[in-house]
Amino acid sequence: MKSKLLATVAALLLAATASASSAERVKFEMWHGLTGDLGGVVDQVCKRFNDSQADYEIICTSQGSYDNALQNAIAAYRAKKNPTIVQIFDAGTLDLLLSEAYVPARKLMADNGYKINWEDYIPAISNYYANSKGELNSFPFNSSTAMMYWNKDAFAKIGKTEAPKTWEETFDSLKALKSAGYECPMAWNYDTWPIMEQFSAINNIPVATKGNGYQGLDAEFAVNKGKYVDIIKTLKKGYDDGLVKIKTPDTGATIVQAFANGDCQVMLSSIADHGTVGKTQKPDMQWDVAILPTLAGVERHNSLVGGASLWALQGKSDAEYKGAAAFFNFIAQPESALFWSTNTGYIPVTKSGFEFMKSQGFYDKAPYKGRELAIASLNASPVNENTRGIRLGGFVQIRKEMRDALTDIFANKVSVDDGLNSAVERSNAVLRKFEKTYAGKMLP
Amino acid sequence: MEKRATFSMGWLGFAFILPQILLVFTFFYWPTGAAMYWAFTLERPWGGGNEWVGFDNFRQIFADRAYWGSIIRSLMFAASTAILSMAFGLLLAVACDRGLKGYQAFRTIFVWPYAVVAPAAALAFRFIFAPEAGIFASLVKAYPEFWNPAQNGYHAMAMIIICYSWKYAAYCFIFFLAALQAIPRSVIEASALDGAGVLRRVFDIQLPLITPTFFFMLVISITDSFQDSFGIVDVMTDGGPGKATELLVYKIYFDGFRGLDYSGAAAQSIVLMLIMMVLTFFQFRYIERRVHYS
């Protein structure tokens, strides 16, 4: 009887030590907002990291969308059950930046003994996620920028072999396409990202005072004057003349679908859609991407980075932070950049990653050719006050106010000036409320 | 003398209701209390400080013309969906209750829409109503101005009302059918013998006898339309075009969860709660008088 008991205890002890040795890997969590194909690639990145070393195990969980990742991370953080790493999209950056909820990227890497060459990051990308001293607070992960997608077959019909370089030229081409019998020269979905945010950086005009908000929370939104009014008026006129067609899920097709199936000949969209268009396009359709147009006579500046970055959140153990640092170091390697960009439409975020991909001949091959233009777009000029990014509170609401105004403008419910004025007025109310919420807080 | 089971120990009774009280407290009073507190402060989403601002949040939303528009739209939505879904549910219930041909099958089929989750129904309806891809596409080709929910606010509103009513009519149908079947057959048969036709029986006998159900459905469907409309709006229109389908509950979701304006959203949900309380009060005060409970 006694010996039986002893045997059981011994067996239990053995089992315990066995599981202890396999649990030696420090586990930590990452929450992200990507799903479908992209979510699958994130899982592969995590698996590659886990296979590359024996000390840490990252557990990656998709939260369904960028919004959900942000909301769930906030709820979890407030309940002190947050993951070590969370992916936050561009418009969610400022709230996190003003909180005490994160560990700055630079501090995390320094504390854990990693030497990262911070100068290696493409300036247009690093400035977006950096503090006022230019130090990165989070790791750029999936980065993109807006591009012009154009149908080469259609442009050949109007005698063009290159994409238009200015807005003026663009509208001339759209007119020619219309005359050549194309029903939908350009597709648009009320998205302000290409025609307001990217437009501002490329043409070097601010969207808000105080250096687009980088110098203080008392910035005022200012897209109701000058070139913004002109470009919206041009778009509206293009819409009235049948050059621009609205394509949203409500009408039956998104702009990406409308472009890929050959219905619409031009669209402005993220470089991240490059893969989708390639996979879903009408067979044999010839198309390409080009840098977004500038206004005539304006010197081209760099475009803005979109997408999301990875943040290390507070309240975790040193061991977990070691793991997080190892993971960030892993994804910063050029090989990881190649893997990530090959399997998604996103661009490499470091100069060395880009050079490595070029040296591997990545951009020479058919499905990926053209994506190097996104880097060219981000590198078009040194980054300045108007082109480093937009740091405005409540930016999700501001985007919606703009979108609502544009919808009303295009439905002839308000004039361009009135619509933009009221959107700016409402956006400023959002900004003032945000400023009051963070009263006494300084931008780091 | 009536015999009653009583518990002499007060704590035992309390112990019995404790689980229920805990549930109600955790899932109702506590969140409501937190929302109340947030509504009077400015809450930072990631924590780390909130400032007492009194009625500022309420002042701000009431000063916003768009918010008043949202209240009016929500009331319109509630009224139209209540009328449409109840009328349709009642019609189907009366038909099924009459035992028309194949009613057994239809009785089951008519309940299904309620089992379809709102976003799925909304996806299907979005396709049906899409002016360039759906069933409406051919009509729109002939008359371009006829239908365009992507740009015309009234069309968009009609679209979400129809989608919601389609789903909710199934719910009404269940209750109305149950009520109709509870009416003693003898009453119906007697009136039939006296020569009352189908419509006469419906209006003079069946409807008056099911007024309690009618009243119940009215209260429930109006309350539900304020809350359940969210999924449909989110999938079909995102509150657009412009702000034409921005209902109160969608605005709360957008400002709070997407815009991270927790305090503004908390204040709005307090207002929504008050609106629903007032509406329900009026229904009980003025409509219930005309209801006859047997």
| B191 alpha-carbon distance from chain centroid | 36
Length of chain B, in residues: 294
What distance in Å separates the CA atoms of residue B169 and residue B85, rounded to the nearest whole number? 4
Give pLDDT tens digits for A173-213: 999 999 999 999 999 999 999 999 999 999 999 999 999 99
User: Can you give the pLDDT at residue A9?
Assistant: 52
User: Can you give the pLDDT at residue B272?
Assistant: 93
Give pLDDT tens digits for A366-378: 788 889 999 999 9
Contact B257/A408, CB-based, under 8 Å?
A: no
Give pLDDT tens digits for B209-266: 999 999 999 999 999 999 888 899 999 988 878 899 999 999 999 999 899 999 999 9
User: Can you give the pLDDT at residue B217?
Assistant: 92
For A426, nearest residue in chain B (alpha carbons): B64
Angle, alpha carbons B142-B148-B153 (nearest 5°): 150
Contact B46/A396, CB-based, under 8 Å?
A: no
**Greater model confidence, A20 or B195:** B195
* Contacts B150 to A, Cβ<8 Å: 246, 248, 250-251
User: Can you give the pLDDT at residue A23?
Assistant: 56
Contact A397/B126, CB-based, under 8 Å?
A: no
What is the pLDDT averaged over residues A375-382?
93
**B125 has pLDDT over 70:** yes
Give pLDDT tens digits for A91-129: 889 999 999 899 999 999 999 999 888 889 999 998 888
Domains defined along chain A, listed by start = 26-144+305-378 (3.40.190.10), 146-303+393-437 (3.40.190.10)
Give me the sign of the Cα torsion angle A160, A163, A167, A171.
positive
What distance in Å separates the CA atoms of residue B128 and residue B136, rounded to the nearest whole number? 7
Kind plus residue range of the DSSP H or E element containing A29: strand A26-32
Residue A3, classified by CB atoms within 10 Å of its CB into exposed (0-12), middle (13-18) or buried (19+), is exposed
Average pLDDT, chain A: 90
What distance in Å separates the CA atoms of residue A205 and residue A226, rounded to the nearest whole number? 10
Asked if B223 and B239 touch (Cβ cutoff 8 Å), the reply is no
Which band of pLDDT confidence, cut at 50, 70 and 90, is reported for residue B140?
A: confident
Contact B259/A74, CB-based, under 8 Å?
A: no
| A81 alpha-carbon distance from chain centroid | 26
Contact A99/B133, CB-based, under 8 Å?
A: no
C-alpha pair distances (Å), A243 with each of A41, A232, B109, B143: 38, 14, 47, 20
Enter the tokens of residue A443: 């931008």
User: Can you give the pLDDT at residue A320?
Assistant: 93
Q: Model pTM?
A: 0.87
User: Can you give the pLDDT at residue A182?
Assistant: 95
What distance in Å separates the CA atoms of residue A157 and residue B255, rounded to the nearest whole number? 47
Give pLDDT tens digits for B71-116: 999 999 999 999 999 999 999 999 998 878 888 888 888 888 988 8
**Greater model confidence, B23 or A4:** B23
Give me the sign of the Cα torsion angle A171, A173, A176, A180.
negative
User: Can you give the pLDDT at residue B5?
Assistant: 67
What distance in Å separates the CA atoms of residue A53 and residue B40, rounded to the nearest whole number? 51
The residue among A240, A251, A254, A395 with the most chain B CBs within 10 A of its CB, best to mutate, is: A251
Q: Note the ipTM here.
A: 0.85
Name which of A440, A416, A375 is nearest B51 in CA terms.
A440
Nearest-Cα distance to chain B for A421, in Å, is 15
Edge-to-edge strand order for the sheet containing A264-270? A244-246, A184-188, A264-270, A146-151, A287-290
Domains defined along chain B, listed by start = 63-290 (1.10.3720.10)
